[in-house]
Amino acid sequence: MRILKEASVGLIIDIQERLFPHMDGNGQLLKNVEMLTKGLKILDIPVKITEQYPRGLGTTIQPLKKILGDNQMFEKMSFSCCDEKGFYDYLIEAGRGRKNIIIAGIETHVCVLQTVVDLLGKGFQPVVIYDCVSSRSAVDKEIAIQRIRAEGAFVSTYESILFELTRVSGTEDFKKISRLLK
């Protein structure tokens, strides 16, 4: 199945001030998520953000806030984003048929995994961006990725998904994505 930009939404899960410093490979994770979010913006793909209990875990880290600007944030207490009524309502109503949910975030084995399972159950196609997710432990991430694949979600990388969404060379979008990824 081809992943098309017209049928896609980006989702950044819980990359927050008090969680992020404890993630395995957090420096590279930040660079990768920045590239993904900039690329999604170039391609005019809506990106939504969730924050798990921001009073205790802080808000989305500043570098991502700077890129994403006014994008709607969904505060949640449940691990799965789908249990947040506002987020799920957005997918149904405002998502307008966008069934591919391109996912970056933390932690892979908790909020990302549970969101993926629920999205699949509700008829969406999650696309987990492997180099844009992390957990405190590399083992937890790897086991979660195995389950995510077994459940039927797609796994990709930020560069691969951006070129798939771009589809063809020679366009203005292609030129912008190519410059971004250099």
pLDDT at 31: 97
Asked if 14 is an active-site residue, the reply is yes
pLDDT at 94: 62
Asked if 81 is an active-site residue, the reply is no
Diameter over CA atoms, the chain: 47
Of the candidates 48, 111, 132, 173, the residue annotated as catalytic is: 111
> Mutual orientation of helices 158-166 and 172-181 as an angle, nearest 10°?
170
pLDDT at 148: 98
pLDDT at 13: 97
pLDDT at 105: 97
- Backbone φ and ψ for 101, nearest 5 degrees, come out as -115, 110
**Ordered domains of the chain (ranges, CATH):** 5-181 (3.40.50.850)
Count CA within 13 A, CB hemisphere, residue 4.
Answer: 6
Of the candidates 76, 82, 131, 141, the residue annotated as catalytic is: 76
Write down the pTM of the prediction. 0.94
* 62 contacts 30 by C-beta, under 8 angstroms: no
Of the candidates 14, 118, 131, 173, the residue annotated as catalytic is: 14
Mean pLDDT by 10 residues, the chain (182 residues): 91 95 96 96 93 92 88 88 89 78 97 97 96 97 98 97 92 92 89
pLDDT at 161: 97
- Backbone φ and ψ for 108, nearest 5 degrees, come out as -55, -40
Asked if 111 is an active-site residue, the reply is yes
pLDDT at 73: 84
